[in-house]
């Protein structure tokens, strides 16, 4: 590689420094929706990781063959293929997890982390590096979802991985496991990171286009800039 | 299930954004200004209904051939192609509508709420009419959440009493939590 990034750095950057959920603020929908319990969060994380690693490898191998103009639809087909495989595997071996994740398994297709890594990393690097990147990003995603799921499960249901926690199991704060709690716990996690790093870790001050996988193809940023100009005029 | 209860249920009780966490990215990203929030919301209703109108019959065809499992691949491609096609058609034939909605269309392609509503129509076993009503409701719910949220966010602008670590993204999420809390009051309505 031209800028001599070590293999280890590729592997580890996704876990802490560029954690997709907590630092890059990507993949918000599955993060909020599947972290009502620790096991669900981990299940979602592992499923998405499997898809991410496979799609990263295949896309990096195909990157030279795919014409530039149709690359996004091609990436989506590759990703959707692997999502279908994961869907079958979950349905066959862990039907209970399949039932509780439900709609969010097929929706891995539109997870912006996966498309984002395809566009930003896999299409420009070799298969081995892309696999490492997939493993790192996937671990970061799984870790973040697992931690958020654990927090919401402990406070919302008074259990951790199904095991009762003393005191809290008698006084669960149910709202934490429900929809508003998802937004709130995520907000607190980001605020905590801001607090401990003095606001340096999270570059993104607002949800916007910078991190979005589609940024290079869709003209949202341009459109929104035009809209704002229109509003001012 | 009555059409009215499907419609009310998906707008208020199971609001796509606030209760099911679908379409969070545009909800947080495009809700800063009321104008763009309304534009985005209307475009989402439009695409959701169109996508459902196209994908529901396709699922029946897939089921006929016993390849219903190809749902995910087929749906996402159909939606992506449809959105592109609609954008071109609007540009050519109804430029005024394109001017109002066109900018939002490309970003809706990979919006999980659109794929989500198409798949959940199939999962719920709705017939064609019920699916269309459900999609319309999901879109209206999205628009409602966007408009309410952009109103709440405008109050945050320039507010200096927010602690430093909560400024920006975290306070936006806390605001969304309160809106979601409000919508929980509708549970049990349908």
Question: Residue A159: beta bridge partners?
Answer: A164
What is the band of B133 on the pLDDT scale with cuts at 50, 70, 90? Answer: very high
How is chain B split into domains, by residue range? 3-184
The C-alpha atoms of residue A24 and residue A17 are separated, in whole angstroms, by 9
Q: What pLDDT score was predicted for residue A42?
A: 92
Tokens of A215: 């940024």
DSSP letter at B190?
-
The C-alpha atoms of residue A228 and residue A210 are separated, in whole angstroms, by 17
Chain A residues touching residue B73 (CB < 8 angstroms) = 77, 80-81, 84
What is the band of B1 on the pLDDT scale with cuts at 50, 70, 90? Answer: low
* Mean pLDDT for chain B overall: 86
Q: What pLDDT score was predicted for residue A213?
A: 45
The C-alpha atoms of residue B190 and residue B6 are separated, in whole angstroms, by 8
Residues 54-93, chain B: which have Cβ within 8 Å of A?
69-73, 76-77, 80
The C-alpha atoms of residue B11 and residue A162 are separated, in whole angstroms, by 33
Within 10 angstroms of residue B143's Cβ, the number of other Cβ atoms is 21
Write the secondary structure of chain A as one string of H (helix), E (strand) and C (coil).
Answer: CCCCCCHHHHHHHCCCCCCCCCCCCCCHHHHHHCCCCHHHHHHHHHHHHHHHHHHHHHHHHHCCCCCHHHHHHHHHHHHHHHHHHHHHHHHHHCHHHHHHHHHHCHHHHHCHHHHHHHHHHHCCCCHHHHHHHHHHHHHHHHHHHHHHHHHHHHHHHCEECCEECCCCCCCCCHHHHCHHHHHHHHHHHHHHHHHHCCCCCCCCCCCCCCCCHHHHCCCHHHHHHHHHHHHHC
A25: nearest CA partner in chain B: B169
The C-alpha atoms of residue B79 and residue B107 are separated, in whole angstroms, by 12
The C-alpha atoms of residue A42 and residue A48 are separated, in whole angstroms, by 10
Where chain A has pLDDT below 70, the residues are: 1-5, 199-233
Say whether residue A25 is in contact with chain B using an 8 A CB cutoff.
yes
Which stretch of DSSP H or E encloses residue B93? helix B71-93
B25: nearest CA partner in chain A: A28
Tokens of B89: 């058609």
Q: What is the pLDDT of residues A50-74, one digit of tens each?
A: 999 999 999 999 988 888 878 888 8
What is the complex's ipTM, to 2 decimals? 0.85
The C-alpha atoms of residue A47 and residue A103 are separated, in whole angstroms, by 13
Q: What pLDDT score was predicted for residue A201?
A: 65
Within 10 angstroms of residue A225's Cβ, the number of other Cβ atoms is 12
Q: What pLDDT score was predicted for residue A85?
A: 93
More confident residue, B73 or A168: B73
Q: Of A21-35, B56-70, B94-108, where does mean pLDDT reach its minimum?
A: B94-108
Tokens of B174: 């806390």
DSSP letter at B45?
H
Chain centroid offset of residue B4 CA: 19
**Crossing angle for the helix pair B169-184 and A179-196, to the nearest 10 degrees:** 160
Q: What pLDDT score was predicted for residue B144?
A: 93
Q: What pLDDT score was predicted for residue A206?
A: 56
- In contact, A107 and A30? CB cutoff 8 Å: yes
- The answer to whether A208 contacts B109, with C-beta atoms less than 8 Å apart, is no
- The answer to whether A106 contacts B119, with C-beta atoms less than 8 Å apart, is yes
Question: Residue A164: beta bridge partners?
Answer: A159
Q: Of B14-18, B41-45, B52-56, B77-81, which one has max mean pLDDT?
A: B52-56
Q: Is B34 a residue whose pLDDT tops 60?
A: yes
The C-alpha atoms of residue A176 and residue A180 are separated, in whole angstroms, by 7
Say whether residue B173 is in contact with chain A using an 8 A CB cutoff.
yes
How is chain A split into domains, by residue range? 7-203
Q: Specify the 3-state DSSP secondary structure of B153.
A: helix
% of chain B with per-residue pLDDT over 70: 97
CA distance B144 to chain A (A): 17
Say whether residue A100 is in contact with chain B using an 8 A CB cutoff.
no
Burial annotation A86-106 (CB, 10 A radius, 16+ → b, else e) = bbeebeeeeeebbebbebbbb
The angle formed by the CA atoms of residues A121, A126 and A129, to the nearest 5 degrees, is 70
The C-alpha atoms of residue A81 and residue B73 are separated, in whole angstroms, by 7
Say whether residue B174 is in contact with chain A using an 8 A CB cutoff.
yes
Q: What pLDDT score was predicted for residue A208?
A: 53
Q: Of A93-97, A149-153, B94-98, B139-143, where does mean pLDDT reach its minimum?
A: B94-98
Span B52-75, average pLDDT: 90
């Amino acid at each position: 590689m031209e800028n001599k990034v070590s293999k280890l750095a590729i592997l580890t950057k996704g876990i802490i420094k560029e954690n997709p959920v907590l630092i890059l603020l990507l993949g918000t929908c599955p993060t909020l929706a599947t972290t009502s319990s620790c096991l669900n969060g981990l299940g979602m994380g592992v499923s998405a990781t499997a898809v991410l690693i496979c799609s990263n490898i295949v896309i990096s191998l195909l990157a030279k063959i795919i014409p530039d103009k149709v690359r996004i639809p091609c990436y989506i087909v590759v990703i959707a293929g692997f999502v279908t495989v994961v869907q079958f595997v979950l349905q066959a071996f862990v039907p209970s997890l399949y039932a509780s994740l439900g709609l969010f398994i097929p929706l891995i297709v539109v997870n912006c982390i996966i498309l984002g890594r395809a566009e930003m990393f896999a299409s420009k690097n070799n298969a081995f590096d892309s696999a490492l990147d997939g493993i790192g990003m996937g671990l970061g995603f799984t870790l973040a979802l697992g931690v958020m799921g654990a927090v919401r499960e402990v406070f919302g249901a008074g259990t951790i991985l199904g095991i009762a926690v003393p005191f809290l199991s008698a006084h669960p704060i149910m709202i934490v496991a429900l929809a508003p709690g998802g937004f709130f716990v995520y907000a607190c996690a980001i605020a905590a990171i801001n607090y401990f790093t003095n606001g340096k870790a999270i570059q993104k001050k607002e949800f916007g286009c910078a991190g979005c996988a589609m940024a290079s193809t869709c003209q949202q940023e341009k459109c929104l800039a035009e809209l704002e100009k229109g509003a001012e005029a | 299930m009555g059409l009215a209860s499907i419609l009310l249920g998906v707008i208020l009780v199971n609001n796509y954004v606030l209760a099911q966490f679908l379409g969070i990215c545009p909800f947080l990203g495009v809700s800063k200004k009321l104008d763009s929030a309304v534009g985005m919301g209307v475009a989402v209703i439009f695409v959701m209904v169109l996508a459902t109108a196209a994908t529901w019959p396709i699922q029946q065809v897939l089921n006929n051939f016993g390849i219903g499992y190809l749902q995910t691949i087929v749906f996402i491609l159909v939606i992506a192609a449809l959105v592109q096609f609609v954008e071109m058609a609007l540009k050519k034939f109804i430029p005024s509508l394109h001017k109002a909605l066109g900018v939002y269309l490309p970003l809706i392609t990979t919006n999980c709420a659109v794929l989500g509503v198409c798949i959940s129509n199939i999962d719920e076993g709705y017939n064609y009419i019920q699916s269309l009503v459900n999609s319309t409701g999901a879109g209206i719910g999205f628009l409602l959440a966007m408009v309410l949220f952009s109103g709440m966010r405008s109050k945050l602008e320039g507010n200096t009493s927010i602690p430093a670590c909560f400024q920006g993204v975290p306070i936006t999420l806390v605001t969304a939590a309160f809106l979601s809390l409000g919508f929980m009051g509708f549970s049990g309505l349908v």
